[in-house]
Chains A and B, each alone.
Chain A
Amino acid sequence: MSPTKNKSASEFDNVLKQQKKSARKARFKTDLPLYLMMAPGLIYLIANNYIPMFGILLAFKRINYSVGILKSPWVAFDNFEYLFKTKDAFIMIRNTLCYNAVWIVMDIVIAVFIAICMNEIAQRKIAKVIQPIICFPSMVSAVILSFLVYAFLSQSYGYLNATIFKDNPVAWYTTASYWPIILTIVHIWQSAGQSSVIYMASIGGIDKGLYESARIDGATKREQIKYITLPLLKPMIIMLLLLSIGRIFNSDFGLFYQVPLGNGMLYETTQTIDTFVYRALIQSNNVGQSSAASVFQAVIGFVLVLMSNALVRKINPENSLF
């Protein structure tokens, strides 16, 4: 290789570099409006989502406000150790998992059942009234929900104690053992209609010809549901099942905190991870345990979401998050 050739090659390189640079500049200039449009959203994501991710480090410190959060001493896994030694940890994890496990299955069964019934009467005028009404409870806030429940369960005036249990009134708000059933009923009231909507849409999309030919072959309704509707709903059911398993460590804060009216006597059956995080942080001012529980929830949730998504992608790539 001669030196001149080398020189020209490096010059050529330089020109290329410069061209690339100016092209990048031009690119940036044309893309600038796009960056500006994303700026508010990006700032929000940083403030609302990314900075709190570093807040996870709080769980590994003993927060002492007098020296400031940054200077508070590191304590490694102490907060987690303290947390998991308490009975609270067992209760809240058990409650979160048990309610979710039962409700995930129950929700699917009820939603599919409602969807099949709704589809059966879809031609009737009344269906156009029923559907919006059974979806309405999901529009009600947890606070108003707590008033509705209170109207039934209030010790002295509640509808149940005034009628069915007139002779020996039940102390609903102080007896923990009733709450799994109460919360389950309230949960069905609030979410059954809404969760059936998606199955109704899929049933509506099933080819009517399938049912026609099944009828010609003499299939009863039951057989049509068993051999046409359910098998065709299966992919959707499995997908929604997996997605909700990804959220099995999360709970509806409003339902578990506000509907039992934050009553300490009911913790045994109403405390979930979300309510514990709130109570430890605001009511007992125990930042260490609160952040330990919330980090535990976030990290396990992350792993579960990744796993459930990987499965969803295997089954039906269109419906996976990524």
Chain B
Amino acid sequence: MKKKNNNKIKLMKGERGFHYMALVIMILMMVFCVVPLILMFSVSLSSENSLVHGYRFIPDEWSLNAYQYLWAKRVTIARAYGLTILVTVVGTIASLIMTSMFAYPLSRKDFKLRNVFAFILFFTMLFNGGMTASYMVWTRLFHIKDTIWAYLLPGGLMGGMNVMLVRNYFNANIPYSIIEAGRLDGARDWTIYSKIMVPLSKPIMTTIGLFAALGYWNNWTNGLYYISNPKLYTIQVYLKKLMDSIQFLKTTDLSNEAVMLAQRNLPTESARMAVAIIALIPVLAIYPFIQKELIKGMVIGGVKG
């Protein structure tokens, strides 16, 4: 008897029921989260004829036609894809550099004005002029409409929360004595920042970098507000416009010849889902490798709003 009990405490009768109930609930939750994605995948792999009877989880008739449509549209899609990658890479790098460069002086206890600048930063987290004011400033003052800057600048290039997180990380994890030792060896501020602070704060930089990259990849609202030139569509904006045109045709008179023609040029039901899938695939593909970092970031971000 004793041997059996020594390490694991045996689950008591009522506890076992609770344990399996929790297991079943979580498995159901997981299924609930996966099911819509599976439906989207199967629709994209269904033949157009079989879709007439409606979307199914298991296609009545498999087909790669949807992806052939993507191939036919490869110039448009490749351009949207390339622009998305460009915006994501440039935006993430710029965001990391600006955030950490702003955080470093704020973390220096011998920097007299650090509280002034911390307040300047902090106030932006409490108060903002609202979306309309922001839109007017970016379009009327800085004229970023229909330029690539529209994806990079408005909104999230450097957020107060991220700067605070990096500054706190600097303060908590990098002892001041290292900075002093560096200075005794003749290192200037720039060297201390780039050779000591940044390399030593990889974990927090990875976390906020991943969220920044995800934000840029998924961003479509900036495109919605500031972009009207189809050549400047990112993949998300392209998807959004695709959905718009479908909705538009659905609500207009179908006897109209022009509409009929337009509808024929639209991607089929399955092709639309295929476009959505290729926008989702990069996220899906790297998610397993970055999920630990992201979940860690959710904990940090959750506590601090």
B294 to chain A, nearest CB (A): 7
CA distance A68 to B250 in the complex (A): 39
A157 to chain B, nearest CB (A): 5
Q: What 1/0 mask marks residues of chain A from 124 to 156 whose CB sits below 8 Å from any chain B CB?
A: 101101111111111111111011111110111
> Is B239's beta carbon under 8 Å from chain A?
yes
Q: Are the C-beta atoms of A274 and B131 separated by less than 8 Å?
A: yes
CA distance A35 to B106 in the complex (A): 10
Q: Are the C-beta atoms of B189 and A37 separated by less than 8 Å?
A: yes
> Is A305's beta carbon under 8 Å from chain B?
yes
CA distance A282 to B139 in the complex (A): 12
Nearest residue in A to B16 (C-beta to C-beta)?
A: A221
B184 to chain A, nearest CB (A): 15
> Is B76's beta carbon under 8 Å from chain A?
no
Q: Tally the A-B contacts, defined by beta carbons under 8 Å.
A: 298
Q: Are the C-beta atoms of B112 and A27 separated by less than 8 Å?
A: yes
Q: Are the C-beta atoms of B39 and A152 separated by less than 8 Å?
A: yes
Q: Are the C-beta atoms of A41 and B32 separated by less than 8 Å?
A: no
Residues from chain B with a CB closer than 8 A to the CB of A16 are none
Nearest residue in B to A41 (C-beta to C-beta)?
A: B102
Number of interface residues of A (CB under 8 A): 109
> Is A55's beta carbon under 8 Å from chain B?
yes
Q: Are the C-beta atoms of B36 and A152 separated by less than 8 Å?
A: yes
Q: Are the C-beta atoms of B133 and A58 separated by less than 8 Å?
A: yes
* Interface-centre pick from A40, A239, A293 (highest chain B CB count, 10 A): A40
Q: Are the C-beta atoms of A157 and B108 separated by less than 8 Å?
A: no
Q: Are the C-beta atoms of B158 and A41 separated by less than 8 Å?
A: yes
Residues from chain B with a CB closer than 8 A to the CB of A246 are 305
Nearest residue in A to B223 (C-beta to C-beta)?
A: A143
> Is A253's beta carbon under 8 Å from chain B?
yes
Determine chain A's interface SS by DSSP, over half rule.
Answer: helix
CA distance A159 to B54 in the complex (A): 6
Q: Are the C-beta atoms of B124 and A45 separated by less than 8 Å?
A: yes
Q: Are the C-beta atoms of A221 and B15 separated by less than 8 Å?
A: yes
> In residues 76-118 of chain B, which contact A (Cβ within 8 Å)?
97-99, 101-102, 104-105, 108, 111-113, 117
Q: Are the C-beta atoms of A132 and B295 separated by less than 8 Å?
A: yes
CA distance A189 to B28 in the complex (A): 12
Determine chain B's interface SS by DSSP, over half rule.
Answer: helix
CA distance A48 to B133 in the complex (A): 10
> In residues 22-58 of chain A, which contact B (Cβ within 8 Å)?
27, 31, 33-35, 37-38, 40-42, 44-45, 47-56, 58
Q: Are the C-beta atoms of B55 and A131 separated by less than 8 Å?
A: no
CA distance A295 to B129 in the complex (A): 7
B2 to chain A, nearest CB (A): 16
A259 to chain B, nearest CB (A): 10
Residues from chain B with a CB closer than 8 A to the CB of A130 are 26-27, 29-30
B59 to chain A, nearest CB (A): 12
Q: Are the C-beta atoms of A297 and B276 separated by less than 8 Å?
A: no
A132 to chain B, nearest CB (A): 4
CA distance A193 to B55 in the complex (A): 27
Stretch in A86-94, A95-103, A195-203 touching the partner? A195-203
CA distance A279 to B305 in the complex (A): 28
CA distance A254 to B221 in the complex (A): 8
Q: Are the C-beta atoms of A34 and B189 separated by less than 8 Å?
A: yes
Which listed residue, B33, B99, B136, B243, touches A147 by the CB 8 Å rule?
B243
Q: Are the C-beta atoms of A146 and B127 separated by less than 8 Å?
A: no
CA distance A37 to B304 in the complex (A): 25
Residues from chain B with a CB closer than 8 A to the CB of A140 are 218, 280, 283
CA distance A239 to B219 in the complex (A): 29
Q: Are the C-beta atoms of B40 and A261 separated by less than 8 Å?
A: no
> Is A306's beta carbon under 8 Å from chain B?
yes
Q: Are the C-beta atoms of B130 and A291 separated by less than 8 Å?
A: yes
B70 to chain A, nearest CB (A): 14
Q: What 1/0 mask marks residues of chain B from 131 to 169 whose CB sits below 8 Å from any chain A CB?
A: 111111100111000000000011101100001000000
A108 to chain B, nearest CB (A): 12
Q: Are the C-beta atoms of B133 and A291 separated by less than 8 Å?
A: yes
A207 to chain B, nearest CB (A): 16
Residues from chain A with a CB closer than 8 A to the CB of B240 are 143, 258
Q: Are the C-beta atoms of A120 and B19 separated by less than 8 Å?
A: yes
CB contact under 8 A between A253 and B221, given known A133-B34, A189-B33: yes
Where the two chains meet, the residues of A that have a C-beta atom closer than 8 Å to any C-beta of B are 27, 31, 33-35, 37-38, 40-42, 44-45, 47-56, 58-59, 69, 114, 116-118, 120-121, 124, 126-127, 129-144, 146-152, 154-159, 161-163, 166, 189, 192-195, 197-198, 201, 212, 215, 220-222, 239-240, 243, 246, 253-254, 258, 261-263, 274, 277-278, 281-282, 287, 290-291, 293-295, 297-298, 302, 305-306, 319, 321-322
Where the two chains meet, the residues of B that have a C-beta atom closer than 8 Å to any C-beta of A are 9, 12, 14-15, 18-19, 22-23, 25-27, 29-30, 32-34, 36-37, 39-40, 43, 51-57, 97-99, 101-102, 104-105, 108, 111-113, 117, 120-122, 124-137, 140-142, 153-155, 157-158, 163, 188-190, 193, 214, 217-221, 224-225, 236, 239-240, 243-244, 247, 250, 269, 272-273, 276, 279-280, 283, 287-288, 291, 294-295, 298-299, 302-305
